[in-house]
Amino acid sequence: MRTVLVTGGTGYIGSHTVVELQEAGYKVVIVDNLSNSYAEVVDSIEAITGTRPVFEKVDLKDREATLEVFEAHPNIEAVIHFAALKAVGESVEIPLEYYKNNIDSLIHILEAMQQYDVKNIVFSSSCTVYGEPDQLPVTEQAPIKKANAPYGNTKQICEEIMQDYRVPNPQINVISLRYFNPIGAHPSALIGELPIGVPNNLVPFITQTAIGLREELKVFGDDYNTPDGSAIRDYINVVDLAKAHVVSIERLLNGNNKQGYEIFNLGTGKGNSVLEVIKAFEKVTGAPLKYKIVGRREGDVEQVYADTRYANDELGWKAEKDLEETLASAWKWEQHYRSKEKERE
Ligand code: UD1
């Protein structure tokens, strides 16, 4: 059994990826500092897969502790590095925290990989690196735009760090996955997106509004140059996204990567507007969602969706689930989580 270290493995995308890795036969070691997730996620992963992943509560800003994880698990053959702070607005408020956390963590991981001779890493990047793209859909060759917030800048800097690091260390294989907008939850409804506090992202805000935790959804802008005036994104099912990580790990471990540093867009290739997402969600629940149109949110781009051909052809991976099925999974998760929460009270 091959061992993969998953940093941020109790987080949203991380936990779904751990499930898919274990179901594909990998042994998983999770590292997470639980700054934006809960230890109980490990129980849920075990409930879904029948296997309990190893869990190390470690903060990757701590270099020694990071090295100790590799020392304790000498069989690690690859790393998937999810662990990062990711709230765009917060990153404007506390930029140094974002730079320190996201960049130091990557550097410590790379140092540990060097010391323990681990050669493969999959990195969580974001379509935010494309900014407001000149051409749609966006290919991997689209130019990187100046980041509009420290969060996006940390993703750009991390990609550059890995490229620079490979110059004297060409034996290191990197796959950088640029996610579009991951949404939804595992069909079991045992894991899903669990933002702490008021959600920043669209779909958790929608499900929390539908369940009565939020008064109403604010739609940020209906004066964009799009068919219905609301902004367009490429919403991808989180389980589909997780599966792309398994394929990427297989590619690296089997030596099938064509270049030492590869980049893939992970999206569906289809753009949906905020108002379309609301309509699809209303169809799923059969009830109207309370929302109102407000002004644009600062820093938002008008539209972005992926050209997925390179990922489809080269990885042999494709997003399969459609928007309604994915929103239904998000809704099921919200209901399941809140009913369990009531039981606990
Ligand atoms: C943002 C970042 C992305 C980052 C992700 C992680 C940008 C361009 N994108 O994605 O890089 O990885 O957050 O958190 O910075 N919306 C509403 N009302 C709401 C919430 C959102 O109308 O209450 C709209 C937004 O204006 C946007 C769409 O819904 O048009 C999606 O927003 P969100 O889920 O926050 O994701 P992004 O901003 O696309």
* Closest C-alpha to ligand 1, atom 27: 231
Annotation says 99 is catalytic: no
* Closest C-alpha to ligand 1, atom 6: 86
**pLDDT for res 342:** 86
**pLDDT for res 24:** 98
Round to whole Å and give the CA distance between 266 and 140.
10
* Closest C-alpha to ligand 1, atom 36: 201
Round to whole Å and give the CA distance between 179 and 241.
8
Distances (CA, A) of 268 to 63, 124, 166: 37, 17, 30
Distances (CA, A) of 146 to 91, 128, 130, 131: 15, 10, 8, 7
Which entry of 151, 165, 305, 337 is annotated as an active-site residue? 151
Round to whole Å and give the CA distance between 222 and 276.
12
CB of residue 201 inside a 6 A radius of ligand 1: yes
- Estimate to the nearest angstrom the gap between the alpha carbon of 241 and the chain centroid: 8
**pLDDT for res 9:** 98
pLDDT digits (tens, 9 = 90+) for 33-72: 999 999 999 999 999 999 999 999 999 999 999 999 999 9
Q: What is the pLDDT along the chain (345 residues), one digit of tens a residue?
A: 999 999 999 999 999 999 999 999 999 999 999 999 999 999 999 999 999 999 999 999 999 999 999 999 999 999 999 999 999 999 999 999 999 999 999 999 999 999 999 999 999 999 999 999 999 999 999 999 999 999 999 999 999 999 999 999 999 999 999 999 999 999 999 999 998 889 999 999 999 999 999 999 999 999 999 999 999 999 999 999 999 999 999 999 999 999 999 999 999 999 999 999 999 999 999 999 999 999 999 999 999 999 999 999 999 999 999 999 999 999 999 999 999 988 888
Listing DSSP states for 211-238 in one string gives: TTSSS-EEEE-S-SSSTTSS-EE-EEEH
Listed in sequence order, the residues at least 6 apart from 230 whose beta carbon sits closer than 8 Å to its beta carbon are 219, 221, 222, 224, 273, 274, 275, 276
CB of residue 130 inside a 6 A radius of ligand 1: no
Which atom of ligand 1 has the smallest separation from the CA of 148? Answer: 15
Ligand 1: which of 202, 224, 241, 304 to mutate, most ligand atoms within 8 Å of CB?
A: 202
CB of residue 128 inside a 6 A radius of ligand 1: yes
Distance 232 CA to ligand 1 centre (A): 10
**pLDDT for res 196:** 83
Listing DSSP states for 243-303 in one string gives: HHHHHHHHHHHTT--SSSEEEEEES-S--EEHHHHHHHHHHHHTSPPPEEEEPPPTT--SB
Phi then psi dihedrals of residue 292, to 5 deg: -140, 150
